[in-house]
Amino acid sequence: MAIPSTVPACIVLAHEDPAHVRRLVEALDPFPVFLHCDARTPEPVFRAMTDGLPERVVVLPRIRTGWAKWENVEAEVSGYRAALAATDASHVAVLTGSDYPLADAAEITGLLAAHREQSFLAVHPLPFPAWGRDGGVARLRYRHWAWRKTMLRLPVPRRMPRDVVLAGGSQLKVLARHHAAAVVDVVDRRPDLVRFWRRSWIADETFVPSVLSSPALTPGFADEHVPHSLWWIGWDGTAMKSPPWLTIVDAGRLLERRTGSDVDLPHVFARKFSTERSTDLLEVVDEVFGLRRRASPAAPVVSPPTPEVVAP
C-alpha cells in the first residue's frame, strides 16, 4: 500500500475510547496514520475504533501491550517500520489514543519542514534526578516484571550494556526519518539489547532515548535533535503516575501555553483527552485551531483490508 507523502507520518497507540481515537484520526487529516490497538482490547471496541477508517490509516497487527511492558516498544517500532515502508515522510510522530493536535496540518508541516533533519524530544541522561532517588538507573540495573500494575523486581544487579549511553524520556516524540530508521535497525541487529530491555521497567521511556543517545548506535544525534517536547501535558503539581485528564476547566491554561508570546517553540499536541471528560474542551480546541472542518462520510460496516506489516 503506497500512501502519498505528507509530513509527518503519525503512529497512534490506542486501547480504549474509540470515539476519541476516531476524532483524533480526523483531526490529523491529511497525515498518514499507523494505528495500533492493544490486542487485549475487546473485539467490539476494536471494531468501533477501526471500521470504515479512511485509506490514509493503516491498522497495525495487534500486540498484547500493557502497563510498563516491553511490548509497548514493540508496538511503537512496528509503527516506525510500517511508516518508513509506506511513506517518504521526513518525520514520524508517536502519539497515544488520548492525545490531540493543537495546530492544523499547515502549521505542523511548516514547523517540521524548518527542522527537516531534526527530531523533537527531551532526552535525559541517567541518572535523571526527577526520576527518584537513584535517578532511574534501577529501572535497568535490575530485572523487572509488571503484574496487574504492580512492579516486581529481582533484587540482583545485572551487567549493563557497554556500548549504550543510558537515557530516558517520554514515549511521545517526533523523530526525523533517519532516527526512526536507526531505532528499527538496532532492534533488528541487536537482539542482545532487545533481551536486556524486555526485563527493564517502563521500557518505552528508556529504550529509544538510549538508542538515540548512544554514538555507537545513532551517530550525530546530539546535534540532530531539538531538546523540546511538542506536547503540552496538564501536570498540576500533584504527585501522580499518569497525567490528569483535561477538561474545560483547563482551557485557559492550555490556550495560554499554546499561544503565549514567551513560547519559543509551540506545543502542537496535548494530552490527555477522553470523550467522557473532554468533549467541551475539544470543541474549543477545534474552534480555536480550525480542526475537523471537513465533513466526514458515514463509516461503512466493514473495515479496509489490513496490509501485511510484520512486527519486530
DSSP letters of 57-120? EEEPPP----TT-THHHHHHHHHHHHHHHH---SEEEEEETTEEESS-HHHHHHHHHTTTT-EE
The CA distance from 296 to 93, in Å, is 24
* Res 212: pLDDT: 98
- Count other C-beta atoms under 10 Å from residue 272's C-beta: 19
* Res 312: pLDDT: 38
Per-residue pLDDT of 215-271, as tens digits, reads 999 999 999 999 999 999 988 767 666 789 999 999 999 988 776 555 578 899 999
Which band of pLDDT confidence, cut at 50, 70 and 90, is reported for residue 6?
low
SS3 category, 209 = helix
Higher pLDDT, 163 or 295: 163
* Res 208: pLDDT: 98
Between the alpha carbon of residue 303 and those of residues 46, 50, 82, 222, 254, the distances in Å are 11, 6, 19, 42, 35
Task: List, edge to edge, every strand of the sheet that includes 231-233.
Answer: 99-101, 269-271, 231-233
* Res 190: pLDDT: 97
Query: If you average pLDDT over every residue of the chain, what do you get?
Result: 90
Which band of pLDDT confidence, cut at 50, 70 and 90, is reported for residue 207?
very high
* Res 293: pLDDT: 56
Angle at 295 between CA 293 and CA 297, to 5 degrees: 150
The beta strand positions in the chain, using DSSP E, are 9-14, 33-37, 57-59, 91-96, 99-101, 119-120, 124-125, 143-147, 150-154, 167-168, 173-176, 225-226, 231-233, 269-271
pTM, whole model, 2 decimals? 0.90
Q: Are 91 and 112 in contact (CB under 8 A)?
A: yes
* Res 234: pLDDT: 86
Which band of pLDDT confidence, cut at 50, 70 and 90, is reported for residue 308?
very low
Task: List, edge to edge, every strand of the sheet that includes 57-59.
Answer: 57-59, 33-37, 9-14, 91-96, 173-176, 119-120, 225-226
Per-residue pLDDT of 54-63, as tens digits, reads 999 999 999 9
Any bridge partners for residue 151, and if so which? Answer: 146
Least confident of 73-87, 98-112, 243-257, 276-290: 243-257
Q: Return the residue matching grid coordinates 470515539.
A: 19
| Mean pLDDT within 111-135 | 94
Q: Is the pLDDT assigned to residue 70 strictly greater than 80?
A: yes
Domains by residue range for the chain, with CATH: 9-122+170-190+210-289 (3.90.550)
CA 237, 243, 245, 247 dihedral sign is positive
Least confident of 74-83, 157-166, 235-244: 235-244
- The candidate with the shortest Cα–Cα distance to 248, out of 234, 237, 264, is 234
* Res 300: pLDDT: 35
Which band of pLDDT confidence, cut at 50, 70 and 90, is reported for residue 202?
very high
| Mean pLDDT within 32-40 | 97
Least confident of 142-156, 161-175, 195-209, 255-269: 255-269
- Percent of the chain topping pLDDT 90: 80
SS3 category, 48 = helix
Between the alpha carbon of residue 169 and those of residues 186, 202, 242, 270, the distances in Å are 18, 11, 14, 16
Least confident of 26-30, 121-125, 161-165, 304-308: 304-308
Query: Cβ-count burial of 157 within 10 angstroms (0-12 exposed, 13-18 middle, 19+ buried)?
Result: exposed
Q: Is the pLDDT assigned to residue 3 strictly greater than 70?
A: no
DSSP one-letter code for 306: P
